[in-house]
Structure 1
Amino acid sequence: MRKRARIIYNPTSGREQVKRSLPDILKVYEDFGYDTSAYCTTTEPLSAQKEAKRCADEQFDLVIAAGGDGTINEVINGIAVAEKRPKVAIIPAGTTNDYARALHVPRGNLVAAAKVIEKDQSVFMDIGKVSTASEERFFMNIGAAGFLSEVSYEVPANMKSLFGSLAYFAKGAELLPRIGKVPVRVEYDDGVYEGQASMVFVALTNSVGGFEEIAPDKTLGDGKFTLIIVKATNLVEIMRLVTLLMNDGKHINSPNIVYTKTSKVVTETIGDRKLMINIDGEYGGDAPATFINYRQHIEMVGDIDGMKLDIDTRDATMEEKETDFIKQVSELEEQSQ
């Protein structure tokens, strides 16, 4: 019996390239042995998430998220709570495509991205869950708060579509003079930071905002976030950190950085200053926020050659993964009591 696959695609991503390439993409998965169908997302809120949940409920074997990081995030949220979760592949057609970088999936060629399935390789990736007063949401790449997260909110959708990453750099340059410090308290596994910060990152991969060295020592599937607290609060300090970041990730040794690994993060502001939380590039509520890591929770198709992995989980059974998941939840509940 042939396996079933569903492509969930955003028709506007990548200047509508997904829609034009859909017949060739479908053929790739069909030729690899999947009965493959497609779903075009709509303007209804969480359209991709709802379709992904339906696919998980109906026990599809593979779900392909075709679009930007926002579409991938919705797909992850749609299947994250299912007892039996389908494997996920991605076809990047967004602006930054951070998650595609982490999985070594080609960017700029949608059919080549689909053909990664032909390597028959996958990895169980950690995902995060963030809880704020207003909502709970899973994320696959980055939770952030502070100055740089404002860029995603302020770049108009038409600029993202037309100019790609250039739009983010242009808006970022415009916002640099507005860098401000926020008094925060951040709890993590090995300690607490209490003081001024301009940015807090909670990262699951090594690629954020197009920079691939933001967490240069990141090991995928290790059950740990990379927590980065940027203490720098003026333009000169920020630009110096960016220079170190672009120089093989040497920013992690700066005295203006708190850099550590942790399975849980609790962040809040000191006083009444508002701090927005950015989840995979979209608004995710306001601090206080709690981030929890779900280790090796979703099996992702990728080109794992050259990836820095915690363990090779290719042969792990679904039963073992579910048992590990239940154990993690129980341990986290005990810690919170």
Structure 2
Amino acid sequence: MRPRARLIYNPSAGKEALLHSVPRILDFLEQGGLEVSTAMTHGANDAVRAARQACEDRFDLVIAAGGDGTINEVINGLSQMEYRPTLGVLPGGTTNDLARALHLPRDLKSACEIILQNHRVPLDVGRVGDGFFINIAGCGRLTEITYEVPSKLKTHLGQLAYYVKGLEKLPFLKPIQIAIDSPDFAFEGKAMLCLIANSNSIGGFEKLAPNASLHDGFFDVIIVKPCKIPELVRLATLALRGEHLNSDRVIYFHTDRLTVSSAEEVELNLDGEFGGLLPREFECLKHHLNVLVPKPVEEVLA
């Protein structure tokens, strides 16, 4: 019997190019030996429900096709279930952070070939309350950019839309008051932002958390202390080269669980989407899912 796969895809991802590629994807995967059915998303949480249904129906494989928002929803649907099919990823969004972290190609045919190779590795998942994330949880005004960018602007400009929004927001950035408690480190004070990284790719930048691993059972936590705009710009320049962690403006530590709270109303960003308000508790679920990757990635994750 051929393995059963459920393809969950977002038709508006990646300037809507994914929608036109679905017939070719299905044909390629079917010829490769899979029995594939589809679920197209129409609105918020559709991918969560589709992934949960795939678990209940005991599919062997769930393939998430879309951007980081779609993949986040699929991971939320899978992670809450006792039986969890293996995850495959077809990157079709603006930044594709998980695909970058796993070294998956943007070319859909090449990504399908990796799925057919069936080489899997265990993947850590972040849990926050009753939700989950795979790449990043963050708070601070700068982290709000990703879900404030209109979908139409992302469709037309791609990743450039984030830079446009960032420049618009830069003059209004102010620090937030936060308190962090973990078995490994505690902090209370003002910060420009706080990042809880599960992977090394954040917003398309692969050196913001250069040491983060999807496989080690720990978060990499980065806190940026208050600084003026020129200092922040300099720090951003260092971050492009992965040299910011040594700055006296940056606090950096590892932990597998922590609590973040604030006396202010502070929004939480989960994988680029609005994730509610602080306070929240975070836990790294080590090896919670299996994901299909190119074989060389096993050495990277080890």
- Where on the TM-score scale, by shorter chain, does this alignment land: which range? over 0.9
* Counterpart check, 1:296 vs 2:294: no
Aligned to 2:125: 127
The within-5 A match list for 1:5-84 is: 5-43=5-43, 45-84=44-83
Q: Normalization by structure 2: what TM-score?
A: 0.96
What residue number does 1:94 align with? Answer: 93
Aligned to 2:231: 237
2:198·2:213 contact (CA, 8 Å) conserved in 1? no
CA distance in 1, matches of 2:290, 2:28: 20
Q: Does 1:256 align with 2:255?
A: no
TM-fit CA distance, 1:220? 2.8
Could you tell me whether the CA contact under 8 Å between 1:187 and 1:193 is conserved in 2?
A: yes
Deviation of 1:233 (Å): 3.0
TM-score, normalization by structure 1: 0.86
Task: Report 1:170-249 matches (<5 A).
Answer: 170-247=164-241, 249=242
Q: CA deviation at 1:40?
A: 1.2
Residue pair 1:77, 1:139 contacting (<8 A) in 2 also: yes
User: Given the superposition, is the C-alpha separation of residues 189 and 309 from structure 1 closer, same or farther in structure 2, using an over 3 Å criterion?
Assistant: farther
| Aligned partners of 1:221 and 1:309 also within 8 Å | no
- Residue 138 of structure 2 aligns to a residue whose secondary structure is strand
- Deviation track 1:281-334 (CA, whole Å, cap 9, x = no partner) reads 1111101111111001010111241555554xxxxxxxxxxxxxxxxxxxxxxx
Q: Distance in 2 between matches of 1:176 and 1:115?
A: 42
CA contact (8 A) 1:180 1:233 kept: no
Distance 1:64 1:100 in 2: 13
In structure 2, the residue matched to 1:114 is 112
**1:21/1:111 contact within 8 Å kept:** no
Query: How many residue pairs align between the two structures?
Result: 302
Within 2, Cα distance between the matches of 1:285 and 1:25? 35
Structure 1 segments (4+ residues) deviating >6 Å:
none
Shift of 1:244: 1.0
SS in 2 for 1:125: strand
| Structure 1 residue 275 corresponds to structure 2 residue 266 | yes
SS in 1 for 2:15: helix
Closer, same or farther: CA 244–307 of 1 in aligned 2, 3 Å: farther
**Alignment gaps of 5+ in structure 1:** 312-337
Structure 2: which amino acid aligns with 1:147? R
3-state SS in 2 of match to 1:37: strand
What is the percent sequence identity of the aligned residues?
A: 41
Q: Would the aligned equivalents of 2:185 and 2:253 in 1 still touch at CA under 8 Å?
A: no
* Partner Cα separation in structure 1 for residue 258 and residue 208 of structure 2: 18
Contact 1:220/1:310, CA 8 A, preserved across alignment: yes
CA distance in 2, matches of 1:130, 1:237: 31
Residue 317 of structure 1 corresponds to: none
Q: Pairwise CA RMSD of aligned residues?
A: 1.4
Q: Match of 2:258?
A: 265
Which amino acid letter does the alignment assign opposite residue 23 of structure 2?
P
Separation of aligned partners in 2, 1:31 and 1:114: 11
How far, CA to CA, are the matches of 2:161 and 2:233 in structure 1? 19
SS at match of 1:285: strand
Are residue 147 (structure 1) and residue 147 (structure 2) matched? no
In the alignment, the residues of structure 1 paired with residue 213 and residue 128 of structure 2 have an alpha-carbon distance, to the nearest angstrom, of: 21
SS of 1:13's partner is coil
Letter in 2 for 1:126: D
